[in-house]
Protein backbone atom coordinates (compact mmCIF):
# COMPACT_ATOMS: atom_id res chain seq x y z
CA UNK A 1 0.00 0.00 0.00
CA UNK A 2 1.35 3.41 -0.96
CA UNK A 3 0.08 6.54 0.73
CA UNK A 4 1.50 9.89 -0.25
CA UNK A 5 0.51 13.28 1.10
CA UNK A 6 2.36 16.02 -0.74
CA UNK A 7 2.00 19.79 -0.68
CA UNK A 8 4.26 20.92 -3.54
CA UNK A 9 6.56 23.89 -3.31
CA UNK A 10 6.76 25.89 -6.54
CA UNK A 11 9.64 24.51 -8.59
CA UNK A 12 11.23 26.43 -11.45
CA UNK A 13 10.68 25.13 -14.97
CA UNK A 14 14.46 24.74 -15.22
CA UNK A 15 14.49 22.49 -12.16
CA UNK A 16 11.55 20.50 -13.51
CA UNK A 17 13.39 20.01 -16.81
CA UNK A 18 16.45 18.80 -14.96
CA UNK A 19 14.57 16.38 -12.74
CA UNK A 20 11.62 15.40 -14.93
CA UNK A 21 11.14 11.65 -15.21
CA UNK A 22 14.49 10.96 -13.60
CA UNK A 23 14.78 8.82 -10.50
CA UNK A 24 15.60 10.58 -7.25
CA UNK A 25 18.86 8.62 -7.19
CA UNK A 26 20.05 10.58 -10.25
CA UNK A 27 19.40 14.02 -8.72
CA UNK A 28 22.43 16.01 -7.59
CA UNK A 29 21.28 15.78 -3.95
CA UNK A 30 19.48 12.49 -4.38
CA UNK A 31 18.70 11.57 -0.80
CA UNK A 32 18.50 14.99 0.77
CA UNK A 33 17.54 14.98 4.43
CA UNK A 34 14.67 17.41 4.05
CA UNK A 35 11.75 17.25 1.64
CA UNK A 36 12.36 20.92 0.81
CA UNK A 37 15.73 20.03 -0.73
CA UNK A 38 13.91 17.54 -2.95
CA UNK A 39 11.67 20.32 -4.27
CA UNK A 40 8.77 19.66 -1.91
CA UNK A 41 7.88 21.81 1.07
CA UNK A 42 6.31 18.94 2.99
CA UNK A 43 5.67 15.29 2.31
CA UNK A 44 4.44 12.47 4.46
CA UNK A 45 5.08 9.14 2.80
CA UNK A 46 3.99 5.74 3.98
CA UNK A 47 4.96 2.85 1.75
CA UNK A 48 3.97 0.03 4.10
CA UNK A 49 6.40 -2.87 4.03
CA UNK A 50 8.57 -2.40 0.96
CA UNK A 51 11.56 -4.32 2.26
CA UNK A 52 11.24 -6.81 -0.59
CA UNK A 53 10.49 -4.30 -3.37
CA UNK A 54 12.39 -1.61 -5.19
CA UNK A 55 10.41 1.63 -5.48
CA UNK A 56 11.80 4.61 -7.38
CA UNK A 57 10.54 8.12 -6.74
CA UNK A 58 10.21 10.68 -9.57
CA UNK A 59 9.47 14.40 -9.68
CA UNK A 60 6.95 15.07 -12.43
CA UNK A 61 5.74 18.50 -13.63
CA UNK A 62 2.17 19.49 -12.90
CA UNK A 63 0.91 22.51 -14.85
CA UNK A 64 -1.53 24.91 -13.24
CA UNK A 65 -3.45 27.72 -14.92
CA UNK A 66 -1.54 30.23 -12.81
CA UNK A 67 1.90 28.66 -13.19
CA UNK A 68 3.45 25.29 -12.62
CA UNK A 69 4.33 22.99 -9.80
CA UNK A 70 5.35 19.41 -9.39
CA UNK A 71 4.33 16.23 -7.71
CA UNK A 72 6.14 13.14 -6.62
CA UNK A 73 5.19 9.74 -7.93
CA UNK A 74 6.50 6.29 -7.04
CA UNK A 75 7.03 3.53 -9.57
CA UNK A 76 7.76 -0.10 -9.00
CA UNK A 77 10.74 -2.01 -10.33
CA UNK A 78 8.85 -3.45 -13.33
CA UNK A 79 7.93 0.03 -14.57
CA UNK A 80 11.45 1.32 -14.04
CA UNK A 81 12.88 -1.63 -15.96
CA UNK A 82 10.41 -1.07 -18.81
CA UNK A 83 11.33 2.63 -19.06
CA UNK A 84 15.04 1.78 -19.05
CA UNK A 85 14.46 -0.51 -22.08
CA UNK A 86 11.92 1.75 -23.82
CA UNK A 87 12.48 5.39 -22.77
CA UNK A 88 9.45 6.62 -24.75
CA UNK A 89 7.18 4.72 -22.34
CA UNK A 90 7.62 7.42 -19.66
CA UNK A 91 6.30 10.04 -22.08
CA UNK A 92 3.51 7.68 -23.16
CA UNK A 93 2.21 7.30 -19.60
CA UNK A 94 2.68 10.97 -18.78
CA UNK A 95 0.57 12.04 -21.77
CA UNK A 96 -1.82 9.07 -22.01
CA UNK A 97 -4.79 10.96 -20.60
CA UNK A 98 -4.39 13.84 -23.08
CA UNK A 99 -3.65 11.91 -26.30
CA UNK A 100 -6.82 12.38 -28.37
CA UNK A 101 -5.67 13.62 -31.77
CA UNK A 102 -3.55 12.21 -34.58
CA UNK A 103 -0.55 14.39 -33.78
CA UNK A 104 -0.38 13.21 -30.17
CA UNK A 105 -1.24 9.56 -30.89
CA UNK A 106 1.00 8.93 -33.90
CA UNK A 107 4.34 8.71 -32.05
CA UNK A 108 2.96 6.16 -29.58
CA UNK A 109 1.21 4.10 -32.22
CA UNK A 110 4.45 4.09 -34.21
CA UNK A 111 6.40 2.82 -31.20
CA UNK A 112 3.81 0.13 -30.49
CA UNK A 113 3.77 -0.91 -34.14
CA UNK A 114 7.57 -1.07 -34.14
CA UNK A 115 7.47 -3.53 -31.22
CA UNK A 116 4.99 -5.66 -33.17
CA UNK A 117 7.09 -5.58 -36.37
CA UNK A 118 10.22 -6.50 -34.38
CA UNK A 119 8.23 -9.26 -32.66
CA UNK A 120 9.28 -7.84 -29.28
CA UNK A 121 6.17 -9.26 -27.65
CA UNK A 122 7.78 -9.46 -24.21
CA UNK A 123 8.28 -5.69 -24.09
CA UNK A 124 4.85 -5.06 -25.57
CA UNK A 125 3.24 -7.35 -23.00
CA UNK A 126 5.16 -5.62 -20.20
CA UNK A 127 3.79 -2.30 -21.45
CA UNK A 128 0.21 -3.61 -21.60
CA UNK A 129 0.61 -4.96 -18.09
CA UNK A 130 1.61 -1.50 -16.79
CA UNK A 131 -1.35 0.32 -18.34
CA UNK A 132 -3.81 1.88 -15.89
CA UNK A 133 -6.97 2.21 -17.97
CA UNK A 134 -8.32 5.04 -15.81
CA UNK A 135 -5.41 7.18 -17.02
CA UNK A 136 -5.94 6.64 -20.77
CA UNK A 137 -7.77 9.03 -23.06
CA UNK A 138 -10.95 7.74 -24.69
CA UNK A 139 -9.17 7.27 -28.01
CA UNK A 140 -6.09 5.59 -26.56
CA UNK A 141 -8.25 3.33 -24.40
CA UNK A 142 -9.53 1.51 -27.47
CA UNK A 143 -6.65 2.31 -29.82
CA UNK A 144 -4.07 0.26 -27.92
CA UNK A 145 -6.34 -2.79 -28.04
CA UNK A 146 -7.09 -2.38 -31.75
CA UNK A 147 -3.42 -1.90 -32.63
CA UNK A 148 -2.34 -5.00 -30.70
CA UNK A 149 -5.35 -7.19 -31.57
CA UNK A 150 -3.62 -9.31 -34.23
CA UNK A 151 -0.76 -10.05 -31.80
CA UNK A 152 -2.96 -10.91 -28.83
CA UNK A 153 -1.98 -14.60 -29.00
CA UNK A 154 1.57 -13.55 -28.01
CA UNK A 155 0.44 -11.08 -25.33
CA UNK A 156 -0.73 -12.75 -22.09
CA UNK A 157 -1.78 -9.36 -20.65
CA UNK A 158 -4.01 -8.50 -23.62
CA UNK A 159 -7.16 -10.31 -22.44
CA UNK A 160 -6.89 -8.82 -18.96
CA UNK A 161 -6.46 -5.35 -20.48
CA UNK A 162 -9.58 -5.96 -22.59
CA UNK A 163 -11.58 -6.77 -19.43
CA UNK A 164 -10.30 -3.64 -17.70
CA UNK A 165 -11.11 -1.52 -20.77
CA UNK A 166 -14.65 -2.97 -20.91
CA UNK A 167 -15.23 -1.94 -17.30
CA UNK A 168 -13.68 1.50 -17.83
CA UNK A 169 -15.77 2.18 -20.95
CA UNK A 170 -18.95 1.39 -19.01
CA UNK A 171 -17.74 3.52 -16.09
CA UNK A 172 -17.29 6.45 -18.49
CA UNK A 173 -20.86 5.97 -19.70
CA UNK A 174 -20.18 4.56 -23.17
CA UNK A 175 -21.67 1.50 -24.86
CA UNK A 176 -18.92 -1.14 -24.69
CA UNK A 177 -20.39 -3.48 -27.34
CA UNK A 178 -20.45 -0.66 -29.88
CA UNK A 179 -17.04 0.81 -29.05
CA UNK A 180 -15.29 -2.55 -28.77
CA UNK A 181 -16.97 -4.04 -31.84
CA UNK A 182 -14.63 -6.56 -33.44
CA UNK A 183 -12.56 -6.98 -30.28
CA UNK A 184 -15.10 -8.96 -28.23
- Residue range of the domain that includes 155: 79-179
Indicate whether 113 and 62 sit together in one domain: no
What does the chain come to in residues?
184
Indicate whether 65 and 87 sit together in one domain: no
Per-residue pLDDT, 170: 92
Which of 51-60, 85-94, 152-161, 175-184 reaches the highest mean pLDDT? Answer: 152-161
Instruction: Say if residue 76's pLDDT is above 80.
Output: no
| pLDDT greater at residue 92 or residue 16 | 92
CA angle 162, 56, 88 (to 5 degrees): 55
Q: Which of 48-52, 111-115, 167-171 has the lowest mean pLDDT?
A: 48-52
Residues 6+ apart with CB under 8 A from 96: 131, 135, 136, 137, 140
Indicate whether 102 and 22 sit together in one domain: no
Please, is 154 exposed, middle or buried when counting C-beta atoms within 10 Å of its C-beta (0-12, 13-18, 19+)? middle
Mean pLDDT of 63-92: 66
Residues 6+ apart with CB under 8 A from 66: none
Partners of residue 4 on adjacent β-strands: 45
Chain segment 126-160, per-residue pLDDT in tens? 999 888 888 888 888 899 999 999 999 999 999 99
Indicate whether 105 and 22 sit together in one domain: no
Please, is 141 exposed, middle or buried when counting C-beta atoms within 10 Å of its C-beta (0-12, 13-18, 19+)? buried
Instruction: Say if residue 42's pLDDT is above 50.
Output: no
Chain segment 79-134, per-residue pLDDT in tens? 777 887 888 888 888 877 877 778 878 888 999 999 999 999 999 999 998 888 88
Q: Does the residue 184 lie in any domain?
A: no
Q: Does the residue 9 lie in any domain?
A: yes
Indicate whether 160 and 139 sit together in one domain: yes
Q: How many domains does the chain have?
A: 2
Q: Does the residue 154 lie in any domain?
A: yes
Per-residue pLDDT, 33: 34
Per-residue pLDDT, 163: 94
Q: Is the dihedral of CA 152, 148, 160, 88 positive or negative?
A: positive
Indicate whether 61 and 7 sit together in one domain: yes
Could you tell me the pTM of the whole model?
Answer: 0.59
Write phi, then psi, for 162 (nearest 5 degrees): -60, -45
Instruction: Report the number of secondary-structure helices (H) and strands (E) in the chain.
Output: 8, 4
Amino acid sequence: MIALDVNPEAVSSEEISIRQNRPVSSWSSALADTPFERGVRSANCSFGDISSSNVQIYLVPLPFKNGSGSYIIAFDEDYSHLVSRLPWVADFFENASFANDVASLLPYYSHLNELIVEKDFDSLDDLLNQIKVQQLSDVLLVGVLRLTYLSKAYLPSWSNLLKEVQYEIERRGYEKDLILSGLL
